[in-house]
Amino acid sequence: MITRIREVRRAKTLTLQDVADRCDPPTTPQTIGRLETGTRTVSVGWLNRIAAALGVDAGDLVHLPDREEMPIAAILDHDGAHPPRRDSVAVPPQPGAGAIVVAVAAGLGDYRSGDEIWCRRLDPEDYGQAMNRDVLIPRPSDRFLFGRLIGREEAKLHVLPLGPGQRQIVVAAPPWLAVASRLIRSL
């Protein structure tokens, strides 16, 4: 199997040691290097561990012939735009399982008209992952609440809707929520 572990790791400016430390359980940088170069066979388990350590989907680490790669043309930092030190590519966004999208029709908070907010659905036992993040919560009668999750007490969620002058809303035992994970904005 041809992997893109090295490309993704370099695009995220991480060292072998960084990835090894982020693996669960941690491993050695030598092992990550062997998996990158193909010296060691990459199993599905290893692919999932490394993907989690890099913060990408496992599919992003596998070279697919029909998937277009996006070369990184410049690096933007406090001194302006500079050419990259070595050739690298960006990982194109791919929706994960259970992904949903919130389309922004009018500017609200940090969001602009035309934005797409990609969200990842969470089950009730995982709601803690969404603290202090923007979430979409289903409400009765085909309605939704979108705002910042600011608190959680047992089965109650405290959400602050976006926009000035909004008051906290408490939602009791929603069946799921979706946490904002990616902003797609056309320029």
Domain termination residue (choose one: 64, 90, 116): 90
Whether residue 108 sits in one domain with residue 78: no
Give per-residue pLDDT as tens, 54-104: 988 887 888 665 656 678 888 888 888 888 888 777 766 666 677 889 999
Whether residue 125 sits in one domain with residue 57: no
Give per-residue pLDDT as tens, 148-169: 999 999 889 999 999 888 899 9
- For residue 138, the domain's CATH number is 2.10.109.10
Whether residue 106 sits in one domain with residue 78: no
Whether residue 103 sits in one domain with residue 83: no
Whether residue 86 sits in one domain with residue 15: yes
Residue 156 φ then ψ, to 5°: -105, 135
Question: Would you say residue 1 has pLDDT above 70?
Answer: no
- For residue 66, the domain's CATH number is 1.10.260.40
Residue for token digits 């992003």?
60
Are 32 and 16 spatial neighbours (Cβ–Cβ below 8 Å)?
yes
Whether residue 108 sits in one domain with residue 158: yes
Query: What is the b/e burial string over 35-60, where b = at least 16 CB atoms within 10 angstroms of the residue's CB?
Result: bbeeeeebeeebbebbbebbebbbeb
Whether residue 27 sits in one domain with residue 54: yes
Number of domains the chain contains:
2
Whether residue 128 sits in one domain with residue 111: yes
Whether residue 130 sits in one domain with residue 63: no
**Alpha-carbon distance values, 123 to 48, 115, 127 (Å):** 20, 25, 7
Whether residue 151 sits in one domain with residue 178: yes
Residue (of 57, 49, 69, 53) closest to 7 by Cα position: 69
Domain termination residue (choose one: 59, 90, 121): 90
134 falls in which pLDDT band (50, 70, 90)?
very high
Average of per-residue pLDDT values in the chain? 87
Domain termination residue (choose one: 66, 90, 114): 90
d(CA 130, CA 123): 11
Domain that holds residue 115: 99-184
Whether residue 123 sits in one domain with residue 61: no
Are 52 and 62 spatial neighbours (Cβ–Cβ below 8 Å)?
no
pTM for this structure? Answer: 0.60
Question: Would you say residue 170 has pLDDT above 90?
Answer: yes
Whether residue 148 sits in one domain with residue 121: yes
